[in-house]
Structure 1
Amino acid sequence: MQKIVVIGAVAAGLKSAAKIRREVPEAEIIVLEKGSLISYGACGMPFYVGGLIADVSDFVKTSSGALRNPEFFKADKNVDVRIRMLVTAINRGDKTVSARSLETGEETVFPYDKLIIATGATPVKPPLPGIELSGIHQFWHPDDAVAIRSGIDSRQIKNAVVIGAGLVGMEMAEAFKIRGVKVTVIEMQEQVFPAFLDPEVAGPVAKYALANGITLLLGEKVERFDGEGTVTAVVTNKRVIPADVVVLAIGVRPNSELAKTAGLVIGPTGAIAVNEYLATSDPDIYAGGDCAENTNIISGKKVFAPMGSTANKHGRVIGENIGGNRVKFRGVLNTVAVRILDFHVGKTGLTEREAKELGYRYVTATVAAPDKPHYMPGSKSITVKLVVEADSRKVLGAQIFGEGDVAKRIDVMAAALTMAATIDDLFDMDLAYAPPYSSPIDNVAIAANAVMNKLSR
């Protein structure tokens, strides 16, 4: 009987376990998780704080309402999930994993034929004075969401400070604003979403946030946190900001130390190096989710891309391959979508900055147009920026923003980039047209036409 051990029981770990059970019905599958919650939807936490999700338990339920706990996985998948088990070592020589119970302290050794590392990532915690004060949250666990929402419900939180204007930071800014909490976002870079937007795209996003009551302090650096026991203020290099709660949203680092100690190769991003089949440098050990490295489909470069969607795909591919198939994971486009109140932002592929850094000869076009005919109720403007390789005419990336339907277009662009589409392909795509959904020539085709016009000069 094949013995499978999985380290980590959130997205990639349990997805791989479930797929292995389908592919290898007789396998013994043990999943070790240091926490007490498993398979939870952390990406929904800002929306719980904002009041859009009623109960935090929804994060650990299936779509049919079943609770995803160890008992569920045992009964439904015949997968043995053991919580509060901290893996202390991977012993590649004898193919075992050593783990310690955080409840009893008991040490257990688990033999494996195949091992899956799905240890995720950890939020960056800056070593600033006052960082240990109560009320400062890394916002990585549902307990943080519960504590913050409770503070808002009890009216103890009136001033919130969010550090970092990335995805989680701006989603939390929206949540606080919806709940009537005064919110300030501090970002040390000169723009919002510095990791994935070009400056001229980030500008209108910031303008909208400011106009709708979200205070943005860009190009400003946090120096310390003040308070006695509980945080009361955030001190930057320019001012003091009152704070009843602070959310740290300055990025995450891959949990790759266990793999590194075991002698596995760590990639240039700091995540675990894997091949196209998601196997590590040890062919009997796979890695997936936020702890594993990815390849950018456009550039071919190694990237760290912690996303729940990617983690779930990793889990499926790993399960397929442990099941005896040869399934490749093609890579990522770093596709993102985010909402700030009634404003939407999406990005896929390379930004202009990235294209320039990588040495591409490229051309760009930025076009604003309604997301549906102007005469239709609810018609809103969106702006599309395309980055296109000049010689091949291949699309390298897209950024889209506005109050209209952005997600539809960014998904079209992600599909096009995956298939190495050119601007001519974008125009040729037979996209769905009806006045409630789109103009006769869709926004992405309009932008493609603008690039064609530039290249024909």
Structure 2
Amino acid sequence: MSRIVIIGGVAAGPKVAARARRLMPDAEITIIERGRLISYAGCGMPFYVGGQVKDFNQLFATSYGVIRDEHYFMNEKGVKVLTRTEAKAIDRQKKEVMVTNLDTGETSTIPYDKLVLATGSSPVVPPIPGLELKGVHRLNHPDDARQIVEQLEGVSEAVIVGAGLIGMEAMEALLKRKIFVSVVELKEQILPGVLDPDLAAVLAYRLEEEGVEFHLGKKVLRLEGDEEGHVTRVVTDGGTLDAQMVIVAVGVRPNVELARAAGLTIGETGAIAVNEYLQTSDPDIYAVGDCVENLHLVSGRKVYIPLASTANRQGRVAGDNVAGRKSKFKGVLGTSVLKVLGWNVGRTGLGEQQARDLGYDVITAINATHDRTHYYPGHDNLLIKLVVDKKSCKLLGAQAIGGGDAIKRIDVVATALHFGATVDDLFDVDLGYAPPFSTPIDASHHTANIVRNKLDGLARTITARELKEKLDRGDDFILLDVRTPEQFNYRHIEDDRVMLVTLGDLRRRIDEIPRDKEIVTLCALGVRAYEAMRTLTGAGFKDVKFLEGGLQGWPYELE
């Protein structure tokens, strides 16, 4: 009888056990978990804090309402789970795991034929004085979520330290509880591991309109409290923020201590090194989930991108392989998605600067569009960015934000990236169309076409940041707004260099536009501005560009 031992019982570990059991009905399968809780929905914790998930036990329940605990795994899976049991050491020669019962202090050994490390990650603890104060939390474990909810009463102001995925979800959760939230982020943008600065700036601007306060490029110096030890203030290098609650969310680190002590190879990212079969440097020991590094499918580099989706897929692969199969885990694209205050946010592959740093000759496109036909009720806006290698035309990455269905488009590009597609291949993908779901030419196709038009010399663009810099410098140029007067009056860039000529009047009024100046055209989404650019170019104008992403992608004040 084969003996399979799994260290870690949250996401990847239980998935390994479930898959291995289906393939090996007679195997002896044991999960070792140092905590009390197992197989919980960690990604659901912000929604419990925010009140969308009402019952704490839902984070541990199956879709049919059974709680995933030791009894569930034994009765339904035939898997033995040892909670409150810590794996202290691995004897690779004897093929044994030394464990300690954390409740009794009793020590013992568990033999294995195949061992799987699913030790996960731990939250980064920044060197900030005052983290021990009452009211200071993390959001990495269900106990954290429950403690936050229990202490919400009387909280009117909170500070989130860190504007990554967890920080942003924590921000929304507290806002749903009618708490004023400030977010402090060391980097100059929100979601620095997810969005490029251009899309991040747009998202931050829109979220601030919803009442969030961002303090970007600021360092937390210390937390201060009252005489009873409750946090009251967050002191940054840019000022002091009042806070009755603080959530620290500055990332995680892989738990590799057990692997390192056992002599297993630790990779260049600081996580456990594994091969395509998820084997460590010991072929009888596998590693999965947040404790391992992965191959990035675009860059070919090793990366550490801990995601629940990756952990679960790896669990299946490792489950196959401990059962004697030869399944491969090819790598990751870092595909990440979230929803924050009605905005859908996603990315896949490489960001623009990442691609440049890797030596790619990069061309990008930003497309402001609708997720569905404009006449169908409920359509909403999207802002999609593609990153492409100019020489090979291969897709390198994509990002999207918007109230519309951004995630569908990210998943489309992720699929294309997985198979090494070019921007032409992306346009050739036969996507479905009906007004409730998309436009006749899908938003992902439109974005691909902007790149193709750029490559063909048909589309010459300027970014929002470049235009803002031109305006601030006082450059001599014409900013040609081609929207209708009603749209212009609703909101516009207030500047003496702005000229309003509706697209439908452009050909008739073309002689009013100076031919000896640089012309930048703009509209709401960019489509009419592109039409205007082509019209002016065809009429002999030499220096014409259009604002990429239109005013939808403009992260600055409008009149």
TM over 0.5: yes
The separation in 2 between residues aligned to 1:284 and 1:135, in whole angstroms, is: 44
| 2:293 aligned with 1:283 | no
Q: Which residue of 2 aligns with 1:9?
A: 9
- Partner secondary structure for residue 321 of structure 2: helix
Q: Which residue of 1 aligns with 2:435?
A: 435
Q: Which residue of 1 aligns with 2:259?
A: 259
Shift of 1:64: 0.4
Residue identity opposite 1:103 in structure 2: D
The range that moved more, 425-434 or 57-66, is 425-434
- Conservation of the 8 A alpha-carbon contact between 1:208 and 1:343: no
Q: Which residue of 2 aligns with 1:386?
A: 386
- Conservation of the 8 A alpha-carbon contact between 1:6 and 1:115: yes
Q: Which residue of 2 aligns with 1:28?
A: 28
Q: Which residue of 2 aligns with 1:223?
A: 221
Q: Which residue of 2 aligns with 1:130?
A: 130
The separation in 2 between residues aligned to 1:27 and 1:147, in whole angstroms, is: 39
The separation in 1 between residues aligned to 2:404 and 2:58, in whole angstroms, is: 29
- Partner secondary structure for residue 26 of structure 1: coil
- Conservation of the 8 A alpha-carbon contact between 1:125 and 1:138: no
- Conservation of the 8 A alpha-carbon contact between 2:290 and 2:307: yes
Q: Which residue of 2 aligns with 1:103?
A: 103
Shift of 1:196: 2.2
The separation in 2 between residues aligned to 1:236 and 1:362, in whole angstroms, is: 37
The range that moved more, 421-430 or 109-118, is 421-430
Query: What whole-Å deviation, never above 9, does each CA across 1:311-337 have from its counterpart, x for those lacking one?
Result: 001110001011111111011110111
> Normalized against structure 2, the TM-score is what?
0.80
- Conservation of the 8 A alpha-carbon contact between 2:90 and 2:258: yes
Unaligned runs of 5+ in 1: none
The separation in 1 between residues aligned to 2:246 and 2:363, in whole angstroms, is: 41
- Partner secondary structure for residue 273 of structure 1: coil
Shift of 1:94: 1.1
Shift of 1:151: 2.4
Structure 1's consecutive aligned runs of 4 or more residues displaced over 2 angstroms after TM superposition are: none
**1:358-437, aligned counterparts within 5 Å?**
358-437=358-437
Q: Decide which structure has the larger Cα Rg and report it.
A: 2
Task: Tell me the matched-pair count.
Answer: 455
Shift of 1:70: 0.4
The range that moved more, 296-305 or 136-145, is 136-145
Unaligned runs of 5+ in 2: 458-559
- Conservation of the 8 A alpha-carbon contact between 1:362 and 1:389: yes
Shift of 1:141: 1.2
**1:140-179, aligned counterparts within 5 Å?**
140-152=140-152, 155-179=153-177
- Partner secondary structure for residue 66 of structure 1: coil
Give RMSD over aligned pairs.
0.9
The separation in 1 between residues aligned to 2:184 and 2:73, in whole angstroms, is: 41
- Conservation of the 8 A alpha-carbon contact between 2:194 and 2:346: no
Query: What whole-Å deviation, never above 9, does each CA across 1:144-178 have from its counterpart, x for those lacking one?
Result: 111212222xx321111100001010111111111
Query: What whole-Å deviation, never above 9, does each CA across 1:236-262 have from its counterpart, x for those lacking one?
Result: 112111111111110000000110011
- Conservation of the 8 A alpha-carbon contact between 2:135 and 2:151: no
The separation in 2 between residues aligned to 1:198 and 1:105, in whole angstroms, is: 49
Q: Which residue of 1 aligns with 2:209?
A: 211
Query: What whole-Å deviation, never above 9, does each CA across 1:365-392 have from its counterpart, x for those lacking one?
Result: 1111111111111121101110111122
Shift of 1:430: 1.2
- Partner secondary structure for residue 233 of structure 1: strand
Identity %: 52
Shift of 1:393: 1.3
| 2:42 aligned with 1:42 | yes
- Partner secondary structure for residue 286 of structure 1: strand
Query: What whole-Å deviation, never above 9, does each CA across 1:255-279 have from its counterpart, x for those lacking one?
Result: 0011001100000111000000000
Q: Which residue of 1 aligns with 2:193?
A: 195
The separation in 2 between residues aligned to 1:129 and 1:369, in whole angstroms, is: 46
Shift of 1:343: 1.2
- Partner secondary structure for residue 321 of structure 1: helix
The separation in 1 between residues aligned to 2:445 and 2:5, in whole angstroms, is: 48
The separation in 2 between residues aligned to 1:2 and 1:436, in whole angstroms, is: 52
